């Protein structure tokens, strides 16, 4: 049985689907602070398999004790966390409390029940402003905001735990820019309010719900002047977690792995790909750079291939097509 924390969220729900399709049994804990349990109902429907769901908070030891007492948990995939950079700057207490304290609580209870297999959602944000690309796992870590700091702290805690006790098996997965949706159009990203990230914003513009995209700067040192990122399809990302679980069966200790495609796309390239996918013209205006944004970031993916035997399959066109299907079938996200 796999425990998925934050399993009702965007990446969590896609990973639950891949887990069930791979024959794993799944239990989810999620406090629904940034998600809806409807995502899990849809995953159950798509797979014809039940998910055991606990609505609760990873900061609450009682509910975690209950879950570990009631089920034989073999491994945990730990997605639960808050992820808005801007909110973390305004409210660092909340981010340290939710992400770091919540994680420590989880690791303590895992230890108590001798469940020492963990896959953790880290982020490319831990690298901060990189000097060269592609970004390799051994680059220095220099996050530039409280959200990124929480990821780095949790990574450090896990490094110390696995050094002290060699029976732990830990995968730190550093995601680049997850986008896309399941091809069924039944599950996808459903941000609350006005989206901060590029793809959810573009898709709302294409759907006519927002008037135009603001392109944050066209004076970067890139071929077309706009920022370049490594966008990765969420289904590829989810499959990377299954590979990490498989690896843990044969490998103890801690591994740190970038999950990206290794390809960078500019804002304008993404915009064009989305126009083709949606057959819509997407109005945009170039504005000032967003504070804290970097110019170029894409992954060195050679270690993922070597250690996990994993590489991304879906290209940017497929990512945009899947987002557009999800947007069209669910104009109001899971509220529909």
Active site residues: 147
From the list ligand NAD, ligand UD1, none, pick the one residue 186 interacts with, judged by a Cβ distance below 5 to 8 Å according to partner type: none
CB atoms within 10 A of CB 84: 17
To the nearest 10 degrees (0 to 180), the angle between helices 316-329 and 198-206 is: 60
Under rule CB under 6 A, how many of the chain's residues touch ligand UD1? 18
Contact 217, 288 (CB under 8 A): yes
List the single partner that 97 binds among ligand NAD, ligand UD1, none, CB under 5 to 8 Å by kind: none
Name the residue with tokens 């309010």. Answer: 193
Nearer to ligand NAD, 35 or 261 (CB): 35
Q: Which residue has the tokens 């609580």?
A: 105
Which of 158, 237, 267, 304 is the binder for ligand UD1 (CB under 6 A)?
A: 267
* 91 is a site residue for ligand UD1 (CB under 6 A): no
Closest CA to 170 of 180, 162, 178: 162
Binding to ligand NAD (CB under 6 A) within 114-133 occurs at 121, 123
> Is residue 204 a contact point for ligand UD1 (CB under 6 A)?
no
Q: Is 177 a residue that touches ligand UD1 (CB under 6 A)? A: yes
Please state, as a whole number, how many other Cβ atoms lie within 10 Å of the Cβ of residue 253.
12
Chain positions 24 to 43 lying near ligand NAD, rule: CB under 6 A, are: 29-35
Peptide bond into 241 cis (omega under 30): no
Pick the closer one to ligand NAD by CB: 225 or 333: 333
Stretch that binds ligand UD1, among 38-46, 161-169, 180-188, 193-201 (CB under 6 A): 193-201
Number of H helices, E strands in the chain: 12, 14
β-strand 228-229 against 265-266: which pairing, if any? antiparallel
Site for ligand NAD in 60-89 (CB under 6 A): 79-83
Whether the Cβ atoms of residue 52 and residue 28 lie closer than 8 Å to each other:
yes
Answer for the pair 6, 15: CB distance below 8 angstroms, yes or no.
Answer: no
Residue nearest to ligand NAD (CB): 9
Q: Could you tell me the smallest distance in angstroms from the CB atom of residue 295 to ligand UD1? A: 8
Rounded least distance, CB 131 to ligand NAD, Å: 21
Which residues on adjacent β-strands are paired with residue 285? Answer: 214
User: For residue 24, what are the CA distances in angstroms to 16, 17, 137, 252?
Assistant: 9, 10, 29, 20
The interface with ligand NAD within residues 191-230 (CB under 6 A) comprises none
Per CB under 6 A, residues contacting ligand UD1 are 85, 123, 125, 177, 196-198, 201, 213-216, 227, 229, 267, 290, 292-293
Per CB under 6 A, residues contacting ligand NAD are 6, 8-12, 29-35, 57-59, 79-83, 98, 102, 121, 123, 175, 178
């Amino acid at each position: 049985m796999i425990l998925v924390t934050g399993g009702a969220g965007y990446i969590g729900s896609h990973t639950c689907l891949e887990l069930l399709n791979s024959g794993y049994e799944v239990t989810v804990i999620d406090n629904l602070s940034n998600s809806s349990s409807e995502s899990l109902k849809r995953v159950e429907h798509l797979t014809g398999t039940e998910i055991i769901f606990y609505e609760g908070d990873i900061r609450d030891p009682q509910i975690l004790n209950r879950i570990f007492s009631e089920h034989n948990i073999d491994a945990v995939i730990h997605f639960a966390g808050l992820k808005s950079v801007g909110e973390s700057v305004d409210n660092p207490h909340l981010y340290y409390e939710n992400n770091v304290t919540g994680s420590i609580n989880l690791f303590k209870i895992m230890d108590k029940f001798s469940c020492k297999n963990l896959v953790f959602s880290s982020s490319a944000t831990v690298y901060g402003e990189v000097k060269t690309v592609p970004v390799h796992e051994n680059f220095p870590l220099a996050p530039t905001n409280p959200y990124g700091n929480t990821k780095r702290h949790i990574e450090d805690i896990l490094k110390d735990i696995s050094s002290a006790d060699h029976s732990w098996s830990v995968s730190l997965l550093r995601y680049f820019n997850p986008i896309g949706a399941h091809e069924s159009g039944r599950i996808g990203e459903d941000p609350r309010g006005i989206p901060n990230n590029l793809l959810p914003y573009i898709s709302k513009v294409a759907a006519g719900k927002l008037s135009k995209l603001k392109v944050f700067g066209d004076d970067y040192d890139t071929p077309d002047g706009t920022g370049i990122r490594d966008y990765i399809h969420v289904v590829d990302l989810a499959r990377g977690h299954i590979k990490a679980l498989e690896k843990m069966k044969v490998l103890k200790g801690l591994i740190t792995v970038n999950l990206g495609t290794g390809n960078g796309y500019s804002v304008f390239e993404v915009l064009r790909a989305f126009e083709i996918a949606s057959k819509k013209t997407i109005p945009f205006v170039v504005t000032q750079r967003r504070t804290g944004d970097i110019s170029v970031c894409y992954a060195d993916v050679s270690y993922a291939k070597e250690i996990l035997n994993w590489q991304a399959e879906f290209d940017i066109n497929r990512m945009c097509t899947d987002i557009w299907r999800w947007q069209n079938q669910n104009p109001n996200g899971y509220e529909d």
